[in-house]
Chain A
Amino acid sequence: MRRLAAVVILLIATSALADEVNVFAAASLSDALQEITARYEKSSGDRVVFNFGASSMLARQIENGAPADLFLSADEAKIDRLASQKLILTSTRVSPLSNTLVIVGTTPMKSPRELTKLRVAIAEPSTVPSGVYAHDWLTKLGLWREIEPHVIPTDNVRAALATVEAGNADAAIVYATDARLAKRVRVIYTVPRAEGPKIAYAFAVVAGAEHERAARRFLLYLQSGAAKNIFTRYGFLTR
């Protein structure tokens, strides 16, 4: 009887503690995050609700008052922008992940110069992180101006991958982690780490978040060994 009472009290206590956390996350994180979350929800009792998309779009939504508790951006720039408007809690900011850019397609490629002859799907190159990274790299190689006229800009990195997989582009520049999920195309060129732009994901709790404590809990979990193992398995570089 006493044990039953203890169980009941425990159940009431945990359900009272259980919370919902609204996470706005970069599209490239979606598969790894869903796996991490499945475990997290079991162990914590919290529920995680995702809004995946281009970090640039998510940042704009947060600026316009969208109900986000935690923002997981694919670059530092979007977090910087929100920080300058005091829309994130700067003290919670971390940059635990990195990634690599690759070119996916069907025919092997010796040099990125070959991109100048192809229709290339890239996430919108002036705002969406993966597009910005690709643009910066190609500009550094002096190829951007030649490639730009036949770039197919997409809403986010996963849309770039879908475009080449559907055969509507000859190649796409995506993250190595996205390329692993491709079924009909493969990596035809990997941007050398030294040559490519510095890719850093930045996470932070949103200022005035309705579920701030739950957001902090989940952010902490994302930096745990268990979460890092899953990120690594999907190809992310952790530090």
Chain B
Amino acid sequence: MSAGEAGILFLTLRTAALATIVILAPGLAIAWLLARRRWRGKSIVETLVALPLVMPPVATGLILLELFGRRGPLGFLKIAFSWRAVVVAMAVMSFPLLVRAARVAFEEVNPRFEQIARTLGAGEWRVFATITLPLARRGIVSGALLAFARALGEFGATILVAGNIPGRTSTLSLSIYNLVQLGRDGDAFRLLGWSVALAFAAVWIAEVVVRRKSA
């Protein structure tokens, strides 16, 4: 592995991991609210959360660019075209995957257990932390891994809001695109190998985690 390749891999892994960590708390909160509570506007939030999954990634990227660009309402954060923008794009694109998986996991937890905990005097937070979360953990872990894997491959939203700046914002997928554009197919294939390996590892671990549950 060359120094350049190591840099690209490290940037990609670091930003994807950060994106997954950033969405974990809000993702679980929304997933739990969707699974366990009835509230006004629930279906709207449900749809909004799913949007990045069905919208063209480039369209999501354009929205992010308008928000975070120099003249955008969040431009003062100076996030655009930095590695932080990569994290933002990855986080937005992976969010629906985490929420969906976590929601299903929460729904599969038998409410009777939670009820019993309540009758024994546990508060809502304690019920969540000691009953719901542990019982849903496999689904949550596999959801987080899927979100991480999705973040690893993010392209469309990233290229708009973070650009494709070598050493700064060029992740694995953006670097592959760069190399093909330059006709350096050999180098592109090497990165392709790395991305297959990473994707394989992430999905395989997710599968193993889920399998353990059904066994």
Contact = CB atoms under 8 A, between A and B. Distances in A.
Interface size, B (range): 20 to 34
Contact of A65 (B75, B167, B181, B183): B75
B88 to A, nearest CB: 14
Interface stretch (B2-10, B36-44, B144-152, B158-166): B158-166
Given A51-B163, A51-B165, A51-B168, A67 B181 contact: no
A66 B181 contact: no
B163 A161 contact: no
B59 interface: no
A158 interface: yes
Interface string A149-184: 000001110110110011000000000000000000
A66 B70 CA distance: 8
A162 B185 CA distance: 10
Contacts of A35: none
Nearest to A66: B81
B165 A162 contact: no
B156 to A, nearest CB: 14
Interface size, A (range): 20 to 34
Contacts of A154: 181
A67 B182 contact: no
Contacts of B81: 61, 64-67
Interface of B: 65, 69-71, 75, 78, 80-82, 163-168, 180-183, 185
Interface of A: 49-53, 61, 63-67, 154-156, 158-159, 161-162, 165-166
20 contacts: A49-B167, A51-B163, A51-B166, A51-B168, A52-B166, A61-B81, A61-B163, A63-B69, A64-B81, A65-B69, A65-B80, A66-B81, A66-B163, A67-B81, A155-B181, A158-B181, A159-B182, A161-B183, A162-B182, A162-B183
